[in-house]
């Protein structure tokens, strides 16, 4: 899906920072939501999770879980290494 003429990275960033949702931005920009996210990541724009999907997360997620070495972290890593894997396409853990 090619980008619509005249739409720059800066224009995408302005739209995102103004509060437009990805759903509203897609027809204006002509890119998929993933491509829009890639532009924002490329320029180091912090993503707003609520704005990202249009909804709050359904489950609480500790995004800092693996930043500090703990017994719980060791257990989870051991479980994944010995019995399971993470599937990137769906961000799921299979055991």
* Per-domain residue ranges of the chain: 9-53, 64-95
Neighbour-count burial for 39-48, b at 16+ CB within 10 Å, e otherwise: bbeeeeeeee
Contacts of 9 (CB under 8 A, 6+ apart): 39, 42, 43
Q: Which residues pair with 93 in a beta bridge?
A: 86
| pTM of the entire predicted model | 0.50
Question: What's the pLDDT at 51?
Answer: 45
Q: Which two tokens stand for residue 57?
A: 């997360």
Of 50, 51, 49, the closest CA to residue 15 belongs to 51
pLDDT in tens, 27-83: 999 998 889 989 999 999 887 655 445 566 677 878 888 888 999 999 888 887 787
Kindly state the average pLDDT of the residues 83-90: 64
Q: Is residue 95 over pLDDT 60? A: no
């Amino acid at each position: 899906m090619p980008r619509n003429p005249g739409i720059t990275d800066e224009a995408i960033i302005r739209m995102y920072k103004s509060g437009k949702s990805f759903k509203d931005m897609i027809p204006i920009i002509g890119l998929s939501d993933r491509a829009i996210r890639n532009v924002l990541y490329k320029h180091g724009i912090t993503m707003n999770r609520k704005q990202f999907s249009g909804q709050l997360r359904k489950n609480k997620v500790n995004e800092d879980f693996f930043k500090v070495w703990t017994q719980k972290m060791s257990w989870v890593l051991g479980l994944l290494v010995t019995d399971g894997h993470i599937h990137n396409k769906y961000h799921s853990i299979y055991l």
